[in-house]
Structure 1
């Protein structure tokens, strides 16, 4: 059992964020372009709970502001850390004085060791709090994950972070242009890491060479690390357990470097999203990687010739070929050969039209389909009728007609639909109201009225609804109040007033509302 400990944060407006933050239920590694979720299975020993050690560690977390007591018993998190009345809150405390609450005579050596480790970690946890990060501990109270992507760190701060031994740490996520090669030897001492994310750092190829000491790494993400070149790929051969590699948003990575990448037989997921120097020659080499399950690409240097190479990768379960100016309707014929696909993203393939969707008819195993910002009026959606497993469909930014939504009735498993920034009207909402299986509906920047919202109330189990930028008024509040299962509602940038918001909160007390 893993417990996530999040820092108190401001209420962030709900955002669709393309397809990035919706959890999928199929067996492929992750959603299109999504940062690795960082699964960290607890060991068998982690399941044997030491109550004294766990209690001491959680008391420490509470005092540091990293954990609230209701979290420990599975309740909804409280709005602020819980503090015992007899112990006034003190921002300068490190929490160690509360570790003596258990009777020492009842402690085993393992309990004492856990308490000592918790005390040693107190300064680190306090720093993580200051930086706005979050941590995860397992059931035995061992620190297994540190996520500092919300922060922007320096070399000195990274070295402070790892100065205390963290023998159970599995996942580390760091961000900041102040992180250079100088910090990499310190990170390399975290020998138990299995997942490492470095986001927007100034690390070079030489810095990554230091990390080759981390022989348990299974997932490595290097996002916007634009000082890396093709030469860095040779270092990846020294990670014997590497299964997931995300080398994204870096135009220095080209076809030349992919020749070394092909030798990584153990790779299962490869993400090269935003590596715009990768062309058809690179795709030809990638097609030789017959053990890949998931491949994510976004490059304007590739064409339909590259798609023809990829069509030989019959083992793929997830494929993204996004932001391509060269792919047109004809190119989708090559994708039609990949009948095992469960995920497909063609987002921003601007030359693909409704006519091209006929080539997708045979992809009946698809669970997720991203057609965002394609030139679709929706008539081609009829070709999706046999996709009986489709759960997620993104049509955001497409010039859809209201009538085209009729085709979605043929998709019995559809639960997530994005039609933001489309020209749909209230009539389209009437048709959407007939999709009773929807759980998430994204309608940002769609010109519908209060009457259109009324049509949607037929979707009785809707759990998430985004209406940001929609010109609805307080007259829509009674309709919105009928969504009894709603847990997330975004009505920011609408015409709903403070008075309407107050009424809505009364009607939907369990709903998180972004306003």
Structure 2
């Protein structure tokens, strides 16, 4: 008797259990939680899922950075047509092939976009910003970091058509000057975040204008804007009391007058980065510590004039400090670290302490740090008086701590009977 083969029943895709039991509206809602990669995979399952997965409502937030390293212009144009008015947030970070043509299409078709990240899209020019100004009045966040072809014209056009801007990043856009910043400030009074790292043409006048027209500023990053003077920081502090993040690193012309102004007006400061501000002294940080009790992160790298007195003031006045950088502060000693280790911030919050190139810091400091139970990382590069024994003792008390240190090769002792010093091992090759 012949044996019949197994019987297979073909199921139409619309009759698959999940499609029969769940209404399309619910499937659409489920798809709305998926990322770009998952949506593309679902679109290949069946015709029904293709329609649902590629529905514009599922593409309101798109980040292509982890999806494809460098998308071409036609991909952006296809996304623009598919998403239309649904698109709210788009990140094209690192997509260096994207040009003005595809961005003009995006601006025309996706006029409800609110958050656009063009970081390192190096072909983007002022033409893109002009299109955004004409077609995207709801734009609130724009990241133009490392877009070298952007000029003041972009900021002027954005000020005319994008008055709802709250966050803008023009870091490393070297063609931006005070003229563009002034136009932006006058046209975008809702600004809360202004980042202009490395924009050396930005002057005190630009910062003063920004402060006067944008009183809601909370985040300001002026790293490397070396033309900034005390008067700019004083007006910024006076007009923007909501400021909680401020980076003035490498603004080398600033003095204690800036710190005193911040202490008097910006009591909500939580992050202050002033690396390379070599004119700041203990007096400025003493004023700051008395008023700014919410400070959590401080970068004082290369504030070469500060002494243990600054640490004593911070220990008494800033109980929330989590991250403290004191690298290249060559006057800091074990006594300052001792006061810091006994402070409320050390007992409860301090997690990162950087002490690179602090030549007066010894193993005694590590002994003091054993009481900092939440300490997770300590940087000790080129601290010549720190030993392996001291680090081992610290780790015995804080077994999960990461200690980064470097020990130079030991110079061999001179040979007997020879008055000439031998080369150390690391110089033999010379």
* Equivalent in 218, 240, 259 of residue 293 of structure 1: 218
Deviation string 1:277-309 (CA, Å, 9 cap, x unpaired) is: 111211221220222222221200112232232
> What are structure 2's unaligned runs of at least 5 residues?
1-11, 42-56, 409-430
**d(CA) in 1 for partners of 2:280, 2:373:** 29
**d(CA) in 2 for partners of 1:446, 1:199:** 35
Match of 1:456 in 2: 394
* Equivalent in 242, 263, 268 of residue 336 of structure 1: 263
1:421 aligns with 2:347: no
Match of 2:372 in 1: 435
Match of 1:506 in 2: none
Query: With structure 2 as the length reference, what TM-score do the two structures score?
Result: 0.72
- Within a 5 Å distance, the mapping from 1:98-109 to structure 2 comes to 102-109=17-24
* Equivalent in 281, 287, 293 of residue 364 of structure 1: 293
Q: 1:147 to 1:387 in 2, by over 3 A?
A: farther
- Within a 5 Å distance, the mapping from 1:98-247 to structure 2 comes to 102-111=17-26, 113=28, 125=40, 144-148=61-65, 151-159=69-77, 162=80, 164-165=82-83, 167=86, 170-188=89-107, 189-201=109-121, 202-212=123-133, 213-237=135-159, 238-247=161-170
Shift of 1:267: 1.3
> What are structure 1's unaligned runs of at least 5 residues?
1-96, 127-139, 473-515
Q: 1:100 to 1:268 in 2, by over 3 A?
A: farther
Look up the SS of the partner of 2:220 in the other structure: strand
**d(CA) in 2 for partners of 1:102, 1:144:** 29
Q: 1:320 to 1:272 in 2, by over 3 A?
A: same
Look up the SS of the partner of 2:191 in the other structure: coil
Q: 1:194 to 1:418 in 2, by over 3 A?
A: farther
- Within a 5 Å distance, the mapping from 1:44-55 to structure 2 comes to none
Q: 1:436 to 1:258 in 2, by over 3 A?
A: same
Q: How many matched pairs?
A: 360
Look up the SS of the partner of 1:208 in the other structure: helix
* Equivalent in 239, 253, 265 of residue 326 of structure 1: 253
Is residue 151–residue 176 contact of structure 1 (8 Å, CA) maintained in 2? yes
Is residue 339–residue 364 contact of structure 1 (8 Å, CA) maintained in 2? no
**d(CA) in 2 for partners of 1:360, 1:113:** 53
Q: 1:461 to 1:146 in 2, by over 3 A?
A: farther
- Within a 5 Å distance, the mapping from 1:380-395 to structure 2 comes to 380-384=310-314, 385-395=316-326
Query: With structure 1 as the length reference, what TM-score do the two structures score?
Result: 0.61
Is residue 293–residue 319 contact of structure 2 (8 Å, CA) maintained in 1? yes
Structure with the larger RCO, 1 or 2 (CA within 8 Å, 6+ apart): 1
Is residue 396–residue 418 contact of structure 1 (8 Å, CA) maintained in 2? no
- Within a 5 Å distance, the mapping from 1:40-119 to structure 2 comes to 102-111=17-26, 113=28
Q: 1:373 to 1:116 in 2, by over 3 A?
A: closer
Look up the SS of the partner of 2:287 in the other structure: helix
**d(CA) in 2 for partners of 1:199, 1:99:** 42
Deviation string 1:175-207 (CA, Å, 9 cap, x unpaired) is: 244322122124323445332111122211121
Deviation string 1:15-65 (CA, Å, 9 cap, x unpaired) is: xxxxxxxxxxxxxxxxxxxxxxxxxxxxxxxxxxxxxxxxxxxxxxxxxxx
- Flag the structure with higher helix content: 2
**d(CA) in 2 for partners of 1:120, 1:256:** 40
Is residue 124–residue 161 contact of structure 1 (8 Å, CA) maintained in 2? no
**d(CA) in 1 for partners of 2:227, 2:242:** 24
Match of 1:310 in 2: 236
